Amino acid sequence: MTSIRTRFAPSPTGFMHVGGVRTALFAWLIARQSEGVFILRIEDTDKIREVKGSIAQIENSLDWLGITWGEGVTVGGPHAPYLQSQRLDIYKAWAQKLVDAGRAYADPYTQTELEDFRDQAKAAKRPFLYRDHRPEQPPTWNGSQPLRFRSDPKNYVWKDAVMGELSSGPEAIDDFILIKGDGFPTYNFCHIVDDALMGITHVLRSQEFISSTPKFLNLYEALKIQAPVLATLPYVMAIDGKKKLGKRDGAKDILEYSKEGYLPEAMMNFLATLGWNDGTEQEIFSGDELIEKFSLDRVQKSPARFDEQRLLWLNGQWIRRLEIEDLYERAVDFWPECAQQASKDAKTQVLTLVQDRLKTLADLAILSSYFFEEPTPNWAMVDDNKQLSKLSRKEHVDLLRTSMNELSSGKFDSESVQTTLNHLLEVTGQKPAILFSLIRLGVSWAPFSPALNDTISALGQHATLDRLQQSIDAA
């Protein structure tokens, strides 16, 4: 396999959301699998839209996911600089080549004149094309007028590595701006120059650029550059599949997920399988497996749906797979206040118990606080429970009393506790869904907890009896 060079080329206009990061991930994967290079280039030519701090935010997001780049703004590389605003001379020189070859010209029109052309086209029910108004004798380009491409409108048929064969007619091609009046190049122009100079072999980007591709093909020809492999990634849609992912559906800063207790492994797994699968039923993929198995021809052509429940499920799966020491390290910032003073051993014991139940590391607060501090009885939780609400308060209290009796003697390791609990089922004639739920609430007053025998064995006999008594007192 020849070495693939890909780039991720975000504009520094704010935080990174799932769609953008997925593009970066796919580009990184195909570079990694050919032992090629993944480049981070920052496209900061639209100074008005720029948001301060975005570059660090982009780098931190990729860092968190373990998407490493071999060349880029902070790491440098053979094609530096990787910040487009520092490459203006390069674009100017390439623009001049086009001027010299008669393929670019200075735009002589004022805004009002351009508006008039647009209005005329509208009145005539024709699509507006700038090239219909190409000036016969354009002025010499002095850098202060917009520079336009003298296009060569024609039909195109091209192959997109994801979308397959695509085609367009001459109407898709116009004399677009290469360099704006402020001296900054347009995206349409400078990304092509940079991709060529940086030796990019595969361009992966979102669906929004597909309608501009005929223009790009036309410019590649004018510049005598061989076009790289083009791969268009379908949009990421909201779960209903009807609209593009918006803030309310989870299109938030990817780093927010880190703060909410998601693991980067789970996020990478989730992003990779947003519109890609390996053709089997496999759902869990590590980064290494993805590098081995990912391929552009298995990226689906239709938009992917962003299913946050699936992300949550994957996160739980990844948490389960962690070694306990590793989980301990990652969970450091997620303990509830009441656990701050607890020893590492005590926390590790709790982690062992709750590991399988954590969907996010943030669940630790709810799932663990009752191990470190006495809960406040909240009988409303019993009344809200479908099964438990069938019994009267007196029956609840009687059941807890009987449980206290049985639990007050005998050994308290988790196996012995299980034996006692089984015996309690016989004595009371209750179903586990009733008896165990009641005891669970009676000792934890938490919505869920690990296996009951493990939970009360970890609490110890004294605390268990104490809490049951307090719950009875509060009934």
Catalog residues that contact ligand GLU under the rule CB under 6 A.
9-11, 43, 187, 191, 205
- Residues 290, 293, 297, CA angle at the centre, nearest 5°? 115
Q: Between residues 43 and 59, which has the closer beta carbon with respect to ligand GLU?
A: 43
**CA distances for 463 relative to 190, 399, 440, 442, angstroms:** 69, 18, 13, 11
Q: Between residues 191 and 347, which has the closer beta carbon with respect to ligand GLU?
A: 191
Q: Between residues 207 and 349, which has the closer beta carbon with respect to ligand GLU?
A: 207
Q: Between residues 43 and 175, which has the closer beta carbon with respect to ligand GLU?
A: 43
> CB of residue 168 vs ligand GLU: minimum separation in angstroms?
18
Instruction: Report the distance separating Cα 90 and Cα 77, nearest Å.
Output: 17
> CB of residue 8 vs ligand GLU: minimum separation in angstroms?
7
| Cβ atoms 108, 147 nearer than 8 A | no
> CB of residue 212 vs ligand GLU: minimum separation in angstroms?
10
Instruction: Give the dihedral of Cα atoms 72, 76, 81, 82; nearest 10 deg.
Output: 0
For β-strands 164-168 and 156-160, DSSP reports them as antiparallel
Q: Between residues 9 and 263, which has the closer beta carbon with respect to ligand GLU?
A: 9
> CB of residue 59 vs ligand GLU: minimum separation in angstroms?
15
Instruction: Name the DSSP class of 42.
Output: B
Q: Between residues 70 and 138, which has the closer beta carbon with respect to ligand GLU?
A: 70
Q: Between residues 212 and 414, which has the closer beta carbon with respect to ligand GLU?
A: 212
Q: Between residues 43 and 265, which has the closer beta carbon with respect to ligand GLU?
A: 43
Which DSSP string corresponds to 164-225?
Answer: EEEEE-GGG----EEE-TTSPBPHHHHHHHHHHHTT--EEEEEGGGGGGHHHHHHHHHHHT-
Instruction: Report the distance separating Cα 273 and Cα 317, nearest Å.
Output: 15
> CB of residue 335 vs ligand GLU: minimum separation in angstroms?
38
> CB of residue 277 vs ligand GLU: minimum separation in angstroms?
24
Classify the phi-psi angles of 455: left when phi > 0, otherwise alpha if psi is within -120 to 50, otherwise beta. alpha
> CB of residue 228 vs ligand GLU: minimum separation in angstroms?
11
| Cβ atoms 180, 81 nearer than 8 A | no
> CB of residue 280 vs ligand GLU: minimum separation in angstroms?
30
**CA distances for 246 relative to 15, 19, 62, 269, 372, angstroms:** 14, 11, 21, 21, 40
289 CB-near residues (< 8 Å, 6+ apart):
none
Instruction: Name the DSSP class of 162.
Output: T
